[in-house]
């Protein structure tokens, strides 16, 4: 089994749907420890990505779709989210310059995205950032792929680990980004970037499990 270009487009549309549904929750998380705009920024950014995908261009490689995500987020999302996610998807697009992805290719995509985040954000695990969701996702995905898991199994492992990783940020004291200004007061709140990462990877899994395309 492989994941094709149609899957990558479904992923983007499901991500837009999930981020719209979680817009208020992400905004509230960010209000507690950040600027309070993460939910709106992610919603607006992925709506712009969907509009770009609807421009009639035929795309034959997964990487072409992910590059649309990258460039659109960089140009339409403010704050830290645009550059971080834009770089993540740009690196991922370069790792997926092919028509279909197997399990190992999915891992390569996720590893490239993580590298983009860590390079741009200069962050590592334990600092209460989206890396706390990305790193366990990559580790879990790699383990399943090494055991011969198919792309769906790899994505499931990544999505579940990202969700757990996002929740693990709740007790952490932020030492990176705007939340670090709060010091000890940042503990007790989930990092919004880690949660949106979990939503994105959950959308990737959902897109692999069904051929149904969200209407908006």
pLDDT in tens, 166-202: 999 999 988 877 787 787 888 999 999 999 999 999 9
Handedness of CA 148, 154, 160, 161 (dihedral sign): positive
pLDDT at 12 over 60: yes
Residue 81: what pLDDT? Answer: 85
192-209 helix and 38-53 helix, angle to the nearest 10 degrees: 30
Query: Residue 131 above 80 pLDDT?
Result: yes
SS3 content of the chain, % helix, strand, coil (to 5): 70, 0, 25
Tens of pLDDT, residue by residue over 75-130, are 988 778 889 999 999 999 999 999 999 999 999 999 999 999 999 999 999 999 99
- Residue 214's pLDDT is 67
DSSP state at residue 123? -
Q: What is the architecture of the domain spanning 3-209?
A: Alpha Horseshoe (1.25)
* Rounded Cα distance, 85 and 77, in Å: 9
What residues does 3 pair with on adjacent strands? 101
Average pLDDT over residues 6-33: 96
Name the E strands within 75-205: 100-101
Q: What stretches of 85-214 adopt beta strand conformation (E)?
A: 100-101
């Amino acid at each position: 089994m492989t994941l094709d270009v149609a899957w990558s487009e479904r992923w983007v549309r499901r991500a837009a749907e999930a981020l719209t549904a979680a817009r208020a929750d992400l905004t509230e998380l960010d209000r507690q420890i950040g600027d309070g705009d993460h939910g709106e920024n992610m919603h607006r950014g992925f709506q712009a990505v969907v509009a770009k995908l609807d421009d009639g261009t035929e795309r034959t490689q997964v990487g072409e779709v992910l590059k649309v995500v990258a460039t659109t987020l960089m140009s339409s999302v403010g704050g830290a989210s645009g550059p971080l996610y834009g770089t993540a998807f740009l690196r991922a697009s370069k790792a997926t310059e092919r028509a279909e992805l197997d399990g190992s290719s999915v891992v390569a995509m996720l590893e490239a995205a993580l590298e983009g985040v860590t390079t741009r954000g200069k962050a590592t695990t334990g600092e209460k950032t989206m890396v706390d969701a990305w790193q366990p996702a990559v580790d879990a995905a790699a383990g399943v792929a090494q055991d011969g898991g198919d792309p769906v199994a790899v994505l499931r492992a990544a999505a579940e680990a990202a969700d757990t990783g996002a929740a693990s940020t709740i007790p952490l004291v932020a030492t990176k980004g705007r939340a670090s200004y709060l010091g000890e007061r940042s503990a007790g709140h989930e990092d919004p970037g880690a949660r949106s990462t979990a939503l994105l990877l959950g959308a990737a899994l959902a897109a692999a499990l069904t051929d149904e395309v969200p209407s908006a």
